[in-house]
Amino acid sequence: MALFGRKNTTVGLDIGSGLIKVAVVDHSKSAPELVRVAIMPLLADAIVDGEIMDPGIVADAIISCLAAAGVTTKSVVTAVGGRDVIIKKILIDRVKEEQARELMRWEAEQHVPFDMESVELDFQILDPTGTEEQMSVLLVAAKRELIEAKVRLLTEAGLGAGVVDVDAFALHNAFELNHPDAMSGIVALVNIGNEVTNINIVENGVPILTRDLPAGTRRFREALQSERGLGSGEAANLVQGTERSEHLDAILAPRAEELAVGIERAAAFLASSSRSGSQVTAVYLCGGGSRTPGLLDQLATRLRLPVVSANPLANLVVRDGAFESLVTDDVAPLLMLPIGLALRQSA
Ligand SMILES: Nc1ncnc2c1ncn2[C@@H]1O[C@H](COP(=O)(O)OP(=O)(O)OP(=O)(O)O)[C@@H](O)[C@H]1O
Ligand SMILES: [Mg+2]
Closest by CA position to 290, among listed 258, 331, 234:
331
Is the C-beta atom of 198 inside 6 A of ligand 1? Answer: no
Looking at the predicted structure, is the pLDDT value of residue 5 above 60? no
Alpha-carbon Rg for the chain in angstroms: 20
Ligand of minimum distance to the alpha carbon of 194: 1
Per-residue model confidence as pLDDT tens digits over 10-34: 999 999 999 999 999 999 999 999 9
Is the C-beta atom of 78 inside 6 A of ligand 1? Answer: no
Q: What is the C-alpha to C-alpha distance for residues 203 and 45, in angstroms, rounded to an integer?
A: 35
Packed helices 217-228 and 232-240: angle between N→C axes, nearest 10 degrees: 130
Per-residue model confidence as pLDDT tens digits over 148-195: 999 999 999 999 868 899 999 999 999 999 999 999 999 999 999 999
Q: State the distance from the centre of ligand 2 to the C-alpha of 211, rounded, in angstroms.
A: 14
Is the C-beta atom of 331 inside 6 A of ligand 1? Answer: yes
Q: State the distance from the centre of ligand 1 to the C-alpha of 217, rounded, in angstroms.
A: 7
Could you write out the DSSP letters of every residue in 137-189? EEEEEEEHHHHHHHHHHHHHTT----EEEEHHHHHHHHHHHH-GGGGSSEEEE
Query: Average pLDDT for residues 233-259, to the nearest whole number?
Result: 97
What's the CATH code, domain 85-143? 3.30.1490.300
Long-range contacts made by residues 97-100, C-beta under 8 angstroms, separation at least 24? 97/125, 97/128, 100/125, 100/137
- Do residues 294 and 244 lie in contact, with contact meaning Cβ atoms separated by under 8 Å? yes
Find out if CATH 3.30.420.40 is the number for domain 1-83+144-179+311-347: yes
Closest by CA position to 139, among listed 211, 63, 86:
86
Is the C-beta atom of 286 inside 6 A of ligand 1? Answer: no
Q: State the distance from the centre of ligand 1 to the C-alpha of 218, rounded, in angstroms.
A: 9
Atom of ligand 1 nearest to the CA of 326: 1
Closest by CA position to 36, among listed 290, 311, 325:
325
The residues near 119 (Cβ < 8 Å, ≥ 6 apart) are 108, 112, 141, 142, 143, 144
The residues near 321 (Cβ < 8 Å, ≥ 6 apart) are none
Q: Is 342 helix (H, G, I), strand (E, B) or coil?
A: helix
Cα separation values, 330 from 39, 286, 290, 334, Å: 12, 12, 11, 8
> How many whole angstroms from its chain centre is CA 299?
20
Query: Average pLDDT for residues 300-319, to the nearest whole number?
Result: 97
> How many whole angstroms from its chain centre is CA 1?
37
Ligand of minimum distance to the alpha carbon of 218: 1
Looking at the predicted structure, is the pLDDT value of residue 277 above 80? no
* pTM, 2 dp: 0.93
Where does the chain hold its CATH 3.30.1490.300 domain(s)?
85-143
pLDDT at res. 272: 75
Per-residue model confidence as pLDDT tens digits over 81-108: 988 999 988 999 999 999 999 999 999 9
The residues near 25 (Cβ < 8 Å, ≥ 6 apart) are 9, 10, 12, 32, 33, 34, 35, 339, 342, 343
Is the C-beta atom of 84 inside 6 A of ligand 1? Answer: no
Ligand of minimum distance to the alpha carbon of 197: 1
* C-beta atoms surrounding 97 within 10 Å: 10
pLDDT at res. 268: 87
Looking at the predicted structure, is the pLDDT value of residue 312 above 70? yes
Closest by CA position to 312, among listed 222, 196, 177, 220:
177
Instruction: Tell the CATH superfamily of the 181-310 domain.
Output: ATPase, nucleotide binding domain (3.30.420.40)
Could you write out the DSSP letters of every residue in 39-87? EEE--TTSEETTEES-HHHHHHHHHHHHHHTT---S--EEEE-STTEEE
Where does the chain hold its CATH 3.30.420.40 domain(s)?
1-83+144-179+311-347, 181-310
